[in-house]
A = this chain, B = another copy of it.
Amino acid sequence: MDNNYQHNLNKGISVDCVIFGFDFEKLKVLVIQRESNEAGTMARFSLPGDLIFDDETLDQAASRVLKELTGLENIFLEQLQAFSSLNRLSKPADKEWLRQMREQPEERVITVAYYALVNLNGFNPMAANFAKAVSWKPVDDINSMAFDHFEILQKAHQQLHSKLKIQPIGFNLLPEKFTLSQLHKLYEVIAGKELDKRNFRRKMIKLEIVEKLNEKQKGVPHKPSSFYQFNLENYQKLAETGFDNFGF
């Protein structure tokens, strides 16, 4: 879209983005702060989101808004679902903020949430526009957010968890080369439980969706592990027929 053209905001519809990352220890989510002096107030963190333009699709809006607020781009955003509860904008602090930000702060807004899995180390988010700060927070540490964003986060987290029960996911959360221990840790984190390590490795190797590289870790304080990479072609074949014997 031409940046010189004045877009009309659609005052009734927004998009919000749940961007998950993994730092080899914890599942994290990208959050913004609307005001810089409220660093400690969990309830004021929000997902990157804003009203859509009337001349863009929801997919386009999600990519644009994510880029405008955090600098992140070229991320595959998948639609999660629409959220429409009648009181989603009615917390006093949220209303106060909307009064400062929007022409029609009382307008009902339905939001369409998107989510994505990214390799956290591959992106350096930078706050811009009305985002005063942007950071990765461990999902498990969050128990409250602005608007209905905590509900949206929980739904996206559930979705991730449900998907893992039926198909291998999460390769986007890892760098291109990873060890089976890192993959194992990721699956434990998403599944929210311990997974038997030997059984996990056996399953993964049998599925042939990861392949061993002729390369090992360097400079680690333990016996270096082999690196693996994801085999997209085999993954797609399996996706066609169903992931028999998968499921964690």
Which A residues are closer than 8 A to B by beta carbons?
10, 12-13, 52, 54-59, 79, 81-82, 84-86, 108, 110, 112, 165-167, 239-248
With A82-B58, A84-B58, A85-B57 already in contact, the answer to whether A166 and B243 are too (CB < 8 A) is yes
Complex CA gap A89/B148 in Å reads: 30
Which of A110, A167, A239 counts the most chain B CB atoms within 10 A?
A: A110
Q: Which of B112, B244, B248 contacts A246 (CB 8 A)?
A: B244
Supplied contacts A10-B12, A165-B240, 18 more A-B pairs, CB within 8 Å? A10-B108, A12-B12, A13-B110, A56-B86, A57-B84, A57-B85, A58-B82, A58-B84, A79-B81, A84-B112, A165-B242, A166-B167, A166-B243, A242-B248, A243-B247, A244-B245, A244-B247, A245-B245
Complex CA gap A85/B244 in Å reads: 36
Sample of 10 A–B contacts (CB below 8 Å): A10-B12, A10-B110, A12-B12, A13-B13, A79-B81, A81-B81, A165-B242, A166-B167, A166-B243, A245-B245
Complex CA gap A247/B167 in Å reads: 11
Complex CA gap A86/B59 in Å reads: 12
How many copies of the polypeptide does the oligomer hold?
Answer: 2
Q: Chain B's nearest CB lies how many Å from the CB of A18?
A: 15
Complex CA gap A96/B28 in Å reads: 49
Contact A57 B81 (CB under 8 A): no
Contact A244 B242 (CB under 8 A): no
Residue of B nearest to A12 (CB): B12
Complex CA gap A213/B244 in Å reads: 29
